[in-house]
Amino acid sequence: MPRSPLALSALGSFALALTLTSCGGDNSLTLYSGRGEDLVQPVVDLCSEQLGVDIKTRYGDSAEMLLLLQEEGENTPADVYFSQGAGFLGVLSASNGLLTLDEAITTRVSNSNLISPANDWVGVSGRARTVAYNSNVLSEDDLPNSFTDFTDPKWSGRIGWAPTNASFQDHVTALRGLLGDDATRAWLTDMVANDPVAYDGNTAILEGVASGEIDVGFVNHYYLYRFLDEDPSFPVANHFFDDGDPGALINVAGAGVIIHSQLPDIAQQLVECLLSTEVQNYFASTNYELPVVNDATPWSDLPKVDSLTLPTFDLNLLADLQGTVDMLVEVGAL
């Protein structure tokens, strides 16, 4: 994926207004990152320079890093956990594994739905669930008013989804929290009856929409911008649901300070660094994610997070992935 000149120059010019009171030359922070090194390391290097502290980063997938934290317990060297999804942070929050963050950090995030209700982690960048549609065949006016209305038989055989994909499973988990298990099970049953086309992931869904194999697909928003960056005429557009609709879910990559951190004050400053305008612009321009702070700029025509009315939902509940997988198997989606 191409790196934006704006992102790299912004990183170079970042000035963090923090005063370090306890950072000696022998001190170092340890970051467990469930996000990839190619995306995160430039930010780590920047924050290391600005905080004046060495940051030792261990990379792996988010589940692997969470399991490691659980196995290490109070002996963990980790100070900060940076997760690809909110559900993994939710596991730590539920077990009191994270410190309460300073208000100066949590108030940087423009939408309270992207913060743990316990104020022990914050979203760092957002991934909106959208409906991608073939713009040569449909307009936004052709789409239903609510995400849940895709059970209408007129959409039979025209929808693409990815039941094995983590982002889809997160969305179903959110539906369970918003609608209840019975209503979500009924929705899934009706969706299966509508013969959706199953794909391996978001990229394949978008290719199916563009080719006319399907008319619409359930995806994360940023995959489309990867295609549009290569080919501005790519015949697909995103529809963002709004007004608290169940289709208006935003999941986040997020960060929290480990309860056993030996340097909790500096660890909080690292989390604050991740919410700086320049770092937020870096994630937006490099990976097309939604910034979570008001003074950062989304990519191209993407909406600002605070312009969307999201459903009120505790993202910690995304931790209940197994219940969702069981439900998908039960209705025949998996």
Q: What is the pLDDT of residues 194-230, one digit of tens each?
A: 999 999 999 999 999 999 999 999 999 999 999 999 9
Over the stretch 24-67, which tens digit does the pLDDT of each residue have?
Answer: 345 799 999 999 999 999 999 999 999 999 999 999 999 999 99
207/17: higher pLDDT: 207
DSSP annotation of 289 reads: P
What pTM does this model have? 0.88
Tokens coding 308:
């969307």
- Please give the pLDDT value at position 11: 44
* Model confidence at 333: pLDDT above 60: yes
Which CATH superfamily does the domain covering 5-126+251-307 fall into?
Periplasmic binding protein-like II (3.40.190.10)
Overall average pLDDT of the 113-129 stretch: 96
CB 261 within 8 A of CB 78: yes
Overall average pLDDT of the 62-86 stretch: 96
CATH architecture observed for domain 129-249+319-330: 3-Layer(aba) Sandwich (3.40)
- Please give the pLDDT value at position 250: 94
CB 319 within 8 A of CB 40: no
- Please give the pLDDT value at position 17: 37
Overall average pLDDT of the 274-286 stretch: 95
In whole angstroms, how far apart are CA 197 and each of 133, 145, 158, 331? 14, 22, 8, 15
Domain with CATH 3.40.190.10 in the chain: 5-126+251-307, 129-249+319-330
